[in-house]
Amino acid sequence: MAQENLSVVLHAKGDLRLVGDGDPPAHVKVLLQMHSVGICGSDVHYWQHGRIGDFVLTKPMVLGHEASGRVVKVGSAVKHLKVGDRVAIEPGVPREMDEFFKSGRYNLSPTIFFCATPPDDGNLCRYYKHSANFCYKLPDNVTFEEGALIEPLSVGIHACRRAGVTLGSTVLICGAGPIGLVSLIVAKAMGASQVVVTDLSPERLKMAKELGADFQLTVKRGEEPQQLAKSVAELLGAQPHITIECTGAESSIQTAIYATRSGGVVVLVGLGSEMATVPLVNAAVREVDIRGVFRYCNTWPMAIAMLSSGKVNVKPLVTHRFPLEQAVQAFETTRQGVGIKVMLKCDRNDQNP
């Protein structure tokens, strides 16, 4: 029996509702019955604040962009997918073949469609339509939840690529939230020899240790960035080649620059205030490259291969599960910072991972 479509819609700042919107649309490129959708910090931020930077909520928007589902209908031009296929969804779809698309950096296209970024709807619903070219078939040994986790895993892959992580790299990761942890997993898979992870939370650092961090460093509020950088060097025996900053906090960006070896790379993944005071001259005279990260591109095939081969394990990241009907409770759990990754189960008849 077909399930009524149900979407988690943010109507305005602080106003999160479950909305039934009838039957799924008939004429689509690919129609998916959603299975697992993870809640991202950005979803919660839109809920609490109604905006992220220049992206402002002006009308009701379906949330969700970390997702997987099953194909229930395909358009006539779709050849690589069939009804019944299990897929992971890449939420960013270029709208035009501009210079960024042509150069393979479509994530930078100013007109890109992106799930749950105003004004584009996300996929936290029972049924969802998406570009077939950005739906990737999952191997039998990769679960729906792993498929949904490819989205945050992709941030880690893109960050490590931008950083140039390779065999023997030593890496500092600032922040042990979901993005810091996937960056850790990917850095180790790409050959990093030693990884230090910092965070305020001992519980999150415990998870980092379980996922392969060689050293964990608890940050104390008010601790001087230069002192923290010194502690990192003492743990590793030398400054790290690479720092991946995942918090967006000004003091953490300062630590990232001070900590990184001369000639090394700092990658900024976390998003904080628009303006930040950082030791730019320190970076300049030591030729420390500072590189930005915006989402990801061309990562889904690599992520699927890493998961299918067993080179990475993201299953421990999922600490809470809720049925779609309990979406508000799930969002509140994420807002409170409980656990690591909260997963919503959208298929009433299949609540398995």
- pLDDT tens column, 281-336: 999 999 999 999 999 999 999 999 999 999 999 999 999 999 999 999 999 999 99
297: Cα within 13 Å, side-chain hemisphere: 16
Answer whether residue 2 shows pLDDT above 70.
no
- pLDDT tens column, 124-167: 999 999 999 999 999 999 999 999 999 999 999 999 999 999 99
Same fold yes or no, 7-137+314-345 and 156-292: no
Q: b vs e for 167-197, b when ≥16 Cβ sit within 10 Å of the residue's Cβ?
A: eebbbbbbbbbbbbbbbbbbbbbbebebbbb
Strands (DSSP E) found in the chain: 6-12, 15-20, 30-38, 51-52, 55-56, 61-62, 66-74, 86-89, 92-93, 113-114, 127-129, 135-137, 170-174, 194-199, 215-218, 242-245, 265-268, 289-292, 318-323, 341-345
Would you state the CATH architecture of domain 7-137+314-345?
Alpha-Beta Complex (3.90)
Residue 62's Cβ-count burial label (10 Å; 0-12, 13-18, 19+) is buried
- Domain boundaries defined on the chain: 7-137+314-345, 156-292
Average pLDDT of the segment spanning 221-225: 95
Class (C level, CATH) for 156-292: alpha beta
Tell me how far apart the 2 most distant CA atoms of the chain are, in Å: 66
Q: Which amino acid is at 136?
A: Y
Answer whether residue 263 shows pLDDT above 60.
yes
The Cα 204–Cα 85 span in angstroms is: 35
Percent of the chain with pLDDT over 90: 91
At residue 77 the predicted structure's pLDDT band, cuts being 50, 70 and 90, is: confident
At residue 21 the predicted structure's pLDDT band, cuts being 50, 70 and 90, is: low
